[in-house]
Structure 1
């Protein structure tokens, strides 16, 4: 069975690529259904892109690599595609775009685009053998109890990274890349909650508030969520991509709150009330109770001098914590690192030394921020490879 292009992986990048390749195209996936990560994303509504997507929202050993693909297929191109399929959407915070309805609409849109392009889809299909041939690639796959032999001119790796193994993530693209001599950058879980081995935040589980999380490289102002394992929420997930094991992080619990002025004013009107009571007007009460066990907060507000209030503000705005680790690939939204961009063309996503081999999506060492950026990389890189194949 001969194809012009075989795409391994029926996720966001793989299906997007299939819609643009032209010729006879086959998409293979070992899952029961296509687009499983799309289906669960955004609470079932799929944060499919971000209004502000640009090269600065991506991590890579080569920060310039993503520029070409992102420029040639932008977030607005994908928004136009969504609109042509009649999918209603809305903006949430920080430019995040979601379906009004269900993430299944995005999956169906991609399947419709694939069908229109004449691409085939095989699910529950396992790749058992893969080798390079003079004309392209030869594969052996298991499907419906049969061992089938396939060949193709172009092979696209779109199987993603290692994140969320319960969804079927295996790191297959990395194994294939190594087989063909492509280099790898270090991989680790990203967009993932922090853990603390002593269970220090169990009593705060469920408490959330706006916060600024930072380290020596960057900072993020978004929601912070305490969990029974540690810290989560958008600000934590964002910082996790820039965090290294053993590193201390800084938590500002009052990033946009003029707390010193507020407490000083309250000292005039409510001085007889406990400091903790008045502080709980501005921070979650359970958090204040917890902090009072670790930070001096005794006495009434009237007893607090300006210096004491300043000291309190300094602690609340620079709470230093050292996570013991992260929750790992089990809950990570994405894999940081991957197939080295030095071995790929930024314009076509083709391997420089393996003609006909393309790598797209999460498998590449390009990792987006939380908020629709990784989907945009899937659309842009899939489009780049698909159009390059069509133009050969």
Structure 2
């Protein structure tokens, strides 16, 4: 026997659960389906297990999309302050880490438990695979536990990042089936890899972290960089990775706030007997200072000005060209996704098929590192949940 609902939400992640809770509290009969055995798996691993659930300052400029204006309506309709109020209502202690990023004091599980509580009255079915979706006035879903019908369908299955947690291209398949375009998905917020001839010096520094400014075109981020055995990671690198086209280079400034050339020439005058490595270590981690100093053990007084100027240029503007990245397995999110051209910005509803919604990471809206993608999940889930009607 077919089971009928006002809305079926496919995907029990941040966006799907929040959307289901919003719709249920408006009196809708809601079913959530997920092929995983447990809900909210990406929530639980986020923020080192403490869930960076939003950011104090969120705007369209913090997102990447073929249509940079699309996210504005949903973000305005449900703000970070709205979600913070919810967190506070549930008594979840939190703190601001850096750059407006908010984390739970305790565990990310508190956020998941809050979402599940908001879904009181929602029917949740895990370990359920959707085999086929059709539409003949209502949506018919053929699932591994029998057929289901609904007047509304919300796709909240995310992107391709972290496949070990069950990520698939399901959202893109549904979008194409109902006439939507898909902006080609690609890994975002992902560590960068380098060709063998370029990566050897980075491997020698694996585990070293340093505050830097990374820039590519007009984009720049001031956060930490981490050397790895395959290349580079760390917040600054993850941020810039979302903006890099294949083969594109970027610049790294290791001497934040200083013109390295002037600093080195000044040190030569003031501290002529100091070793170059010692001078560099005042601004850089010791191993990184030793790398830039190389085998040169001369005192500052013995180093030619031309050499110091050249080294200063490297310290402020080291140009690097990655060979690639670590792919969806290590990417925190997926850039690209369901094209926003055929979605209503205020509701995330399809313009081609009323009652069909796409929310969260499935959509071509990708946030920066720092709680922005969770805020998009809450905002887009809220927009769709408020718009769903018992047709």
TM normalised by structure 2 equals: 0.94
Which residue, out of 171, 188, 191, partners 2:189?
191
Q: Secondary structure at the match of 1:43?
A: helix
Please say if residues 260 and 313 of structure 2, whose CA atoms lie closer than 8 Å, have aligned partners that are also in contact.
Answer: no
What residue in structure 2 maps to residue 282 of structure 1?
283
Q: Secondary structure at the match of 2:289?
A: helix
Q: Deviations over 1:317-353 (max 9, x none)?
A: 1111110000010010110011000010001111001
Q: State how 1:108-187 maps to structure 2 within 5 Å.
A: 108-115=113-120, 118-134=121-137, 136-142=138-144, 147-187=145-185
Give the paired residue count: 383
Which stretch of structure 1 is more off in the superposition, 197-206 or 176-185? 197-206
> Could you tell me how far 1:273 is from its partner in structure 2?
2.7
What residue in structure 2 maps to residue 342 of structure 1?
341
TM normalised by structure 1 equals: 0.94
Q: State how 1:64-75 maps to structure 2 within 5 Å.
A: 64-75=69-80
What residue in structure 1 maps to residue 48 of structure 2?
43
Q: Deviations over 1:293-313 (max 9, x none)?
A: 4xx956211123555433321
Answer yes or no: is 1:59 the counterpart of 2:39: no
Q: State how 1:359-370 maps to structure 2 within 5 Å.
A: 359-370=358-369
Please say if residues 260 and 315 of structure 2, whose CA atoms lie closer than 8 Å, have aligned partners that are also in contact.
Answer: no
Structure 1 gap ranges (5+): none
What residue in structure 1 maps to residue 7 of structure 2?
5
> Could you tell me how far 1:262 is from its partner in structure 2?
4.5
Structure 2 gap ranges (5+): none
Please say if residues 49 and 108 of structure 2, whose CA atoms lie closer than 8 Å, have aligned partners that are also in contact.
Answer: yes
Looking at structure 2, the residues matched to 75 and 52 of structure 1 have their Cα atoms a distance apart, in angstroms, of 8
What residue in structure 2 maps to residue 208 of structure 1?
209
Looking at structure 2, the residues matched to 184 and 214 of structure 1 have their Cα atoms a distance apart, in angstroms, of 28
Please say if residues 20 and 390 of structure 1, whose CA atoms lie closer than 8 Å, have aligned partners that are also in contact.
Answer: no
Q: Secondary structure at the match of 2:148?
A: strand
Q: Secondary structure at the match of 2:164?
A: helix
Q: Secondary structure at the match of 1:375?
A: helix
Looking at structure 2, the residues matched to 190 and 305 of structure 1 have their Cα atoms a distance apart, in angstroms, of 43
Q: Secondary structure at the match of 2:212?
A: strand
